[in-house]
A and B are shown apart, each in its own frame.
Chain A
Amino acid sequence: MGLAAILASLAFLSLLFISIIGKGYTAFWQTYVRLDVHLSADQLDRTELETADYPGIVKKTLRSMFPEVKSRGDKRKLYALISSGAAFQIREMVLEDPDLVGKTVSVWVPADDDVDMLVKGHIERDVPEEARRLTDKQLAWVDALTGEGRVEKRFNRTLFTHGDSREPELAGIWGATVGSFLTLAITLLLSFPIGVASAVYLEEFAPKNRWTDLIEVNINNLAAVPSIVFGLLGLAVFLNFFGLPRSAPVVGGLVLTLMTLPTIIIASRAALLAVPPSIREAALGVGASKMQTVFHHVLPLALPGMLTGTIIGMARALGETAPLLMIGMVAFIVDIPGGFTDPSTALPVQIYLWADSPEKAFVERTSAATLVLLAFLIVMNALAVVLRRRFERRW
C-alpha cells in the first residue's frame, strides 16, 4: 500500500513531465518560408524607407508566386499563410542596408501559426474543411511551397529573443524572463539582508520574552498565509497608498520579499542553531564582544545554510504567480522591460496568460515556457543541493 502510494505520486510526476515535454518540445522549432522578395525602387522611396508599404511588398511577392490566385477572398487567404512579422523583418533588413533597394533578395520569414501547426502535424488533413483552421486551397499552397523546398523548420530564436505578441509565431518569453529577473533581483537584495538580520537578532540577541515570542509566532504564521493575500497587501499598500507604478518589477519584488522573508528567516535560524556553542564561547573567551562573536565567527559558519535557504526561497518566488496578478503584472506587454519601474510581466504570469489564449500554437509555446521555467527552478535547486553538500559540516 505504502509503496503503491509513493509510486502513484511518482507516476503523477512523470505524467506531468511527459505531457508537458511532449507538448512543448516542438515549440523550439518554428516553420519558416523562403520568399524571393523584389525590393523595387518604385515602391521603396529612399527618402521614406521608414514608412514604406512593407506589407504590400510581401503581398506582391506572394501574388507573383501564385499568379493563378485572383479573387479577393482567395488573396486574403494566401496572405494569411505568412506571419505579419514578415513585413517588419523586411523593413529592418532594408533599413539596415538601404543598398538592397532595387534588388531581389531571398529571405526566410516566419510562417503563420496555422501553417506552423500544419507542418508540425497538429492540424489533421482528413477532417472536413469547415472544422479545420486552413482551407483546402491553403493546404494546396503550403504543399506547393513545400514541394519547391521553400518551407523549412528552424530553431525558434524568436521564442528566446522577443516579448509577448498576439501572434503565436512572433511571441517570445524574453520580456517575461527579464521581468522575472528584475523582480527576483529586488527580492534577493531586500529579503536576504533583512532575513539574515532578523534571524541573527532572534537567535543570538533577543531576550526570551513575550515580545520576541510574538515575533516568532508571527513569522511562523506568515509562512503559511496564502500568497494571494500578500498580493492584496501589495495592491492596497504599495499601489494605492504609496502610489508606486502598476505592473512594475519593483512592486513585484517588494511583495515577493514579504512573502519569502519567513522562509529565509526560518532557514537562517536553523543554520545559526547548527553552529555549536563552543565556537561562540571560544570567541567570547579571547575577548570578542557579542557582536564581534556573531559577525566574525558564527555568521560565516552559518552562511552556507542561509544561502541554501535563500536559494530555495528564491526558487519559490520565481514560480509564484498569484500575488503578481494582484499588482497588475498580467498586462499585455510587448516591450522588453529596461528598468525596475517599467511595466513588465514575469515568466509564470506569461505561462498563465498564454494558457488562456485560444490559438492552438500557444499551447505548445505555453509548454515550452513551462519547460524554461522548470529548467531555471531545477538549476536553482541543484545549486542549493550542491551548496549544501559542499559546505555541510558535522560538528
Chain B
Amino acid sequence: MSPYSLMILLLCLSSAAYYLGKKKAFAVSADVGGARQLHSRPTYYGALAARWCGIPALILFAGWLGLEDHIITGMVVSELPETLQNLPADRINLLVNDIQNMVTGNIVSREVDDVMRAAADHYRHLQNISSAALAVLVLAVGIGGMLWVRSRIVPSLRARNHVERIIRYLLIFCSTIAIFTTIGIVLSVLYEAIRFFHAVPVTEFLFGLKWSPQMAIRADQVGSSGAFGAIPVFAGTAMISAIAMLVAVPIGLMSAIYMSEYADRRFRDAAKPLMEILAGIPTVVYGFFAALIVAPFIRDAGTTIGLDVSSESALAAGLVMGIMIIPFVSSLSDDIINAVPQALRDGAYGLGATQSETIKQVVLPAALPGIVGGVLLAISRAIGETMIVVMAAGLAANLTANPLATMTTVTVQIVTLLVGDQEFDSPKTLAAFALGLVLFIVTLLLNVIALHVVRKYREQYE
C-alpha cells in the first residue's frame, strides 16, 4: 500500500473514531439522564477517540518511513556475497545506488549481473514486506487506540481535560521545532566541518593565504594541489560587504531621517510601499540585474577612464547588494528614530535649536545605539547574501584590496563546492561545511550582539 493511500485511510479511520466516540458518549449518558450528565460536551469524547486513533499511528508511520531505507539497505548489503562486502565503503555505496536504481527502474551505471539482479529482487521483496507490515501495524495501532478509548468512555471521564492536554503537548512540540532546527544546523555543519578539519588543520584553514579547493583525483595529476587557506575568501566577503554597507548605510539612514522627521504624511504613504517593493524583490533578480546591467556598465565606465576593470568586479556585486540592503537599513532606522521620545525634541526646540540642529545633536545621538544594532544586522545579511554574489562576483580567490578586481565570497564558495555531483569524503566538499560553520558563527554573533543592543536601547526609552 502506498504511503499516500495509507495516510488517507488513517484520516478516514480517525473521523470514524470521532463519530464512534461521540456516539458512545451519548449511549453511556442515556442511562444516567442525558448528555447533561457527561463531564464534557460529547464532541470532546469523539475528539479524544480520534486523537488516540490518529496520533500514535502517525508517529509510528513517520518513524517507520524514516528508518525503512536504512534497515532494508543494511539487510541487502549483508546478503551480498563476501567479495562484494569487503569492498571499500564508497564502492559499496555505489553498488547500493545501482541496486536502488534497478528497483525503481532507472538507468543503471554498470553491467547488470546475476548478483545485482538477485540483490535487486531481494530489495524489492523486502520493500513489499515492509510496506505491507507498515500498513497492517499502522491500522492495528489506530483501531486499537480507538477501541481502547471507546471502552473507557464513561460519563465521569474528563474528556475535555484530556483533549486539552494533548493539544497542549502538540503546541509545545511545535514551538520546540525552532530549537531542533538550530541544533540540527549546528550538528550537521559541525559534524562535516570536524571531518574536514581532520584532513586540513584548523589553523591552515583559518590563516592560510591560498584558496584553491580543486583536489587531485589521482596522485599523478598536475595542477590541482588543493589549498584550503580561507583568508582570501574572508577578505573577499569583507570587501563586498563593506562596499554594500558604504552604499546602504548612508542612503538608508538618510532616507529614514527624512521619512521620520521631514516628510509629510502623503509622501510617506507613497514612498514607504515603494521601499517595501525594493525589499521584496528576490535576490536572484538582483543578481541577474547585477550581472546583466551593472557589471558591464562599470566595466565600460572603467575602460573609458583607463582603468582595468574585471567583468566580475567586487564593486558591481557590492553596489547591487547595497541597493538590496537599503530598505532593510531604512526601515530599522525608521523604527528606532521614531522610538526617540518626542520630549527630547521638544526640549531641544525649547532651547532654540533649529530642526537640523535638533536632529544632528539630539535625535541622532539618542538613536545611535539602536542604529548601530541595525547596521550590525545589515552586515550579517550582507555576509550571508548568496545569489547576488554567485551571479555577479567571481570564483577566483584573490587577496587584493582593489575593488575592481574579481573576488570571491564564502557563500559563492559554498555554492560552487556543493552544486553538482559530490562525494562526501573529499575535503573539497567538506570545506563547504567548514565555510558554512564560519558563516553561521559569524552571523550568529552579529545577530546576538545586534538584538541585544537594540533591545537595551528600546528598554531605555520605555
Residues of B within 8 A of A6 (CB): 255, 258-259, 271, 275
Nearest residue (CB) in B for A198 is B175
A178 in contact (CB, < 8 A)? no
Q: Inside 8 A of B251's CB, which chain A residues have their CB?
A: 5, 8-9
* Number of A residues, CB within 8 Å of B: 81
Cα of A198 to Cα of B173 in the assembled complex, Å: 8
Any B CB within 8 A of the CB of A182: no
Given the known interface contacts A291-B164, A355-B292, A373-B285, the answer about A226 and B439 at a Cβ–Cβ threshold of 8 Å is: yes
Is A348 part of the contact surface with B, judged by Cβ < 8 Å? yes
Question: Could you say which of A47-55, A61-69, A99-107, A237-245 contacts chain B?
Answer: A237-245
A201 touches B387 (CB 8 A): no
Indicate if the CB atoms of A326 and B172 lie closer than 8 Å. Answer: no
User: Closest residue of chain B to A291, judged by CB?
Assistant: B164
Q: B390 contacts which chain A residues (CB < 8 A)? A: 322, 325, 352
Is A265 among interface residues, defined by CB-CB distance under 8 A?
yes
B281 on interface, CB distance cutoff 8 Å = yes
Chain A's nearest CB lies how many Å from the CB of B19?
Answer: 21
A352 touches B281 (CB 8 A): no
User: B398 an interface residue at 8 Å Cβ cutoff?
Assistant: no
CB of A200 within 8 A of CB of B178, answer no
Q: For A144, what are the chain B residues with a Cβ–Cβ distance below 8 Å?
A: none
Q: How far is the CB of A184 from chain B (nearest CB, A)?
A: 13
In the bound complex, how far is the Cα of B185 from the Cα of A2, in angstroms? 41
Cα(A202)–Cα(B171), bound, Å: 9
Quote the shortest CB–CB distance from A6 to chain B (angstroms): 4
Interface residues of B in 272-291 (CB under 8 A from A): 274-275, 277-278, 280-289, 291
Q: Which residues in A have their C-beta under 8 angstroms from that of B275?
A: 6, 9-10
The smallest C-beta distance from B340 to any residue of chain A, in angstroms, reads: 16
Q: Do B447 and A13 touch (CB < 8 A)?
A: no
B326 to chain A, nearest CB (A): 5
Measured in the bound complex, the distance between the Cα atoms of B70 and A3 in whole Å is 62
Q: Give the contacts of A1-47 with B (CB-CB under 8 A).
A: 1-6, 8-10, 12-13, 15-16, 19-20, 23
- A321 CB → nearest B CB, Å: 5
Give the residue name and chain of the A residue nearest to B330 (CB): A9
Q: Do the beta carbons of A322 and B433 come within 8 Å of each other?
A: no
Give, as a whole number of angstroms, the nearest-CB distance from A268 to chain B: 11
| The residue from B252, B263, B436 contacting A228, defined by CB atoms under 8 A apart | B436
Contact with A along B108-147 (1 / 0, CB 8 A): 0000000000000000000000000000000000000000
Report how far A333 CA is from B250 CA in the complex, Å.
44
Given A19-B289, A202-B175, A351-B284, does the pair A232, B447 have CB atoms closer than 8 Å? no
Interface residues on B, range: 35 or more
Structural contact, A258 and B181, CB atoms closer than 8 A: yes
Instruction: Pick the contact of B69: A198, A236, A243, A318 (CB < 8 A).
Output: A243
Q: Write the nearest CB–CB distance from A323 to chain B, whole angstroms.
A: 9
What is the CB-to-nearest-CB distance from A340 to chain B, in angstroms, rounded to a whole number? 9
The answer, among B179, B284, B411, for a CB contact under 8 Å with A215, is: B179
User: How many angstroms from the CA of A320 to the CA of B444 in the assembled complex?
Assistant: 20
Bound-state CA distance A318–B285 (Å) is 12
**Smallest CB gap from B171: residue in A:** A201
Contact between A9 and B255 (Cβ–Cβ < 8 Å)? yes
Whether B170 and A197, one on each chain, are in contact in the complex, defined by CB atoms closer than 8 angstroms, is: yes
The stretch of A70-78, A117-125, A217-225, A302-310 in contact with B is A217-225
Residues of A within 8 A of B303 (CB): none
Partner of B418, one of A206, A235, A348, A370: A235
Could you tell me which B residues sit within 8 Å of A by CB distance? 66, 69-70, 160, 164, 167-168, 170-172, 174-179, 181-182, 184-185, 188-189, 191-192, 250-255, 257-259, 261-263, 271, 274-275, 277-278, 280-289, 291-293, 323, 326-327, 330, 377, 380-381, 383-387, 390-391, 411, 414-415, 418-419, 424, 432-433, 436, 439-440, 443-444, 447-448, 451
A residues with CB within 8 A of B: 1-6, 8-10, 12-13, 15-16, 19-20, 23, 193-194, 197-198, 200-202, 205-206, 214-215, 217-222, 224-230, 232-233, 235-237, 240-243, 258, 261-262, 265, 289-291, 315-316, 318-322, 325-326, 328, 330, 348-349, 351-352, 355-356, 363, 366-367, 370, 373-374, 377, 381
Extra contacts, 13 of them, besides A226-B380, A233-B184 (Cβ < 8 A), are A2-B263, A5-B253, A12-B326, A16-B281, A214-B179, A215-B176, A224-B381, A232-B188, A319-B284, A322-B387, A325-B418, A356-B391, A381-B280
